[in-house]
Amino acid sequence: MTQIPATVVTYPDGDVTGTATVVHAVLLADGRTGIVLDRTPFHPVDTAWPDQPADVGVLRSSSGEFPVVTALTGGVREGDLVIGSDLPVRMGAEGWTFVVVHVVDAPAPAVGESVEAYVDPELRAALSAGHTACHLASLALDAALADAWTKEVPTDAAGHPAFDMLAIQTSRITAYGSTDVYRIGKSLRRKGFDPAALDDLRAVEERANATLASWAETPGAIGIHRGDRTLAGRRTWRCELPEGAVELPCGGTHRTSLAEVEAITVALASAEVPGGVELTMTTGIRLAH
Ligand SMILES: [Zn+2]
């Protein structure tokens, strides 16, 4: 039985480099090797909610240079490491220790070796921008649909009925953007959402874009706040909007200020699906230079 410590993660602070020690190495089914470090700047894709893709980059040690092709979430229980889609529990589940698994081609650095970790900074910057845009777009969409509800429902971080939280199916962060898919079916209608609110989709889109344009003009700080520094530690995204600060749970990476944002825009599309409507929001962000 091996003791694998919970990975300390430094990406929530914006780190893209760091020194670490290899604490575990495992041969993967595809012939590659999974490397666990005591601490890492690499953001791994989450298994249960894979919104932000993994960082890529390189590990360097005295024995060579090892490209990291992806970074996965691993869970350790009773000494056994379970990785990626094999992981049967959500991040933070009781009885499990969570680690970042850096996937490298053979040969791999050895357990006990010291490595320098380098995340591809351009991809990280693009995904951080995309993630910030994703959160702001979802808040703007909630605001644009605030009048579509006939009953009391849970509210979002800005105090609007939480359409995003209640209807979201998948959220995917991309380079300088995101794609969010929502489902408006029987259960959302029962909660009091009137689908007629989506009849004039261009009007909803315009309201969301007007809100996003007003936010992009402000200098509000954006940050990730946390206590526990391990992968499974709870982290909160906080953004100073003109209406007040908003906070929501987030495991990803972000820009550090609205001042960096030139523009965020969303496009909405809807399609009939069995039992309801699927709404797709495609978000793009342009940074100020
Ligand atoms: Zn997030």
Distance from Cα 136 to the centre of ligand 1, integer Å: 10
46 and 164 assigned to the same domain: no
Contacts of residue 124, defined as CB under 8 A and 6 or more positions apart, other chains included, come to 11, 16, 43, 55, 253
Task: Tell me, letter by letter, the H, E, C secondary structure of 86-121.
Answer: HCCCCCCCCCCEEEEEEEECCCCCCCCCEEEEEECH
Residue 162 alpha carbon to ligand 1 centre in Å? 15
**Would residue 2 count as lying in a domain?**
no
Report CA(167)–ligand 1 centroid distance (Å). Answer: 16
Res 252: pLDDT: 97
Whole-number Å distance between alpha carbons of 94 and 214 = 42
250 CA from centroid of ligand 1 (Å): 4
Residues 88, 153, single domain; the answer is no
pLDDT digits (tens, 9 = 90+) for 82-107: 999 999 999 999 999 999 999 999 78
Q: Are residues 13 and 148 in the same domain?
A: no
Is the pLDDT reported for residue 1 higher than 90?
A: no
Give a yes or no: residue 58 inside a domain: yes
Compute φ and ψ for 214, nearest 5 degrees: -70, -35
Average pLDDT rounded to a whole number, residues 104-133:
96
Whether residue 225 sits in one domain with residue 133: yes
Residue 1 lies in a domain: no
The CATH number of residue 152's host domain is 3.30.980.10
Is residue 59 domain-shared with residue 71, that is, in the same domain? yes
* Residue recorded with tokens 């993967």: 28
> Residue 3 domain-assigned?
no
Let me know whether 84 and 108 are in one domain.
yes
Domain boundary among 85, 119, 153: 119
- The sheet with strand 235-241 has its strands ordered as 222-226, 235-241, 244-249
Query: Do residue 274 and residue 132 come from a single domain?
Result: yes
Are residue 169 and residue 73 in the same domain, yes or no? no
Tell me, what's the pLDDT at 3? 85
Q: What is the average pLDDT value for the chain, to the nearest integer?
A: 96
Position 148 pLDDT exceeds 90: yes
Distance (angstroms) between ligand 1 centre and the Cα of 258 equals 16
Question: How many domains is the chain partitioned into structurally?
Answer: 2
107 and 146, same structural domain?
Answer: no
175 pLDDT more than 90? yes
Ligand 1 center from residue 62 Cα (angstroms): 36
- Note whether residue 46 is domain-resident: yes
Cis peptide before 107 (omega within 30 of 0): yes
CA 270, CA 17: separation in Å to the nearest integer? 41
pLDDT at 106: 78
**What is the pLDDT, as a whole number, of residue 103?**
98
pLDDT at res. 2: 62
Domain C-terminal end among 89, 119, 149: 119
The domain that contains 112 carries what CATH number? 2.40.30.130
Final residue belonging to a domain, choices 119, 153, 170: 119
Answer yes or no: is 89 within a domain: yes
Measured CA to CA, the distance from residue 44 to residue 181 in angstroms comes to: 22
Q: Which pLDDT score is estimated for 220?
A: 97
Q: What is the pLDDT of residues 29-79, one digit of tens each?
A: 999 999 999 999 999 999 999 999 999 999 999 999 999 999 999 999 998
Residue-wise pLDDT for 194-208, tens only, equals 999 999 999 999 999
Q: Are residues 187 and 209 in the same domain?
A: yes
From ligand 1's centre to the CA of 224, what distance in Å?
Answer: 10
What domain range includes position 278?
123-287
pLDDT confidence of residue 243: 94
Both 37 and 139 in a single domain?
no
Kindly tell me if the per-residue pLDDT of 145 is higher than 60.
Answer: yes
131 Cα to the center of ligand 1, angstroms: 6
Q: How far is the CA of 249 from the centre of ligand 1 (A)?
A: 7
183 shares a domain with 269: yes
Residue 199 lies in a domain: yes
> Which stretches of 15-158 are DSSP H helices?
121-144
User: Residue 27 C-alpha to ligand 1 middle, in angstroms?
Assistant: 31
What pLDDT score was predicted for residue 289?
A: 80
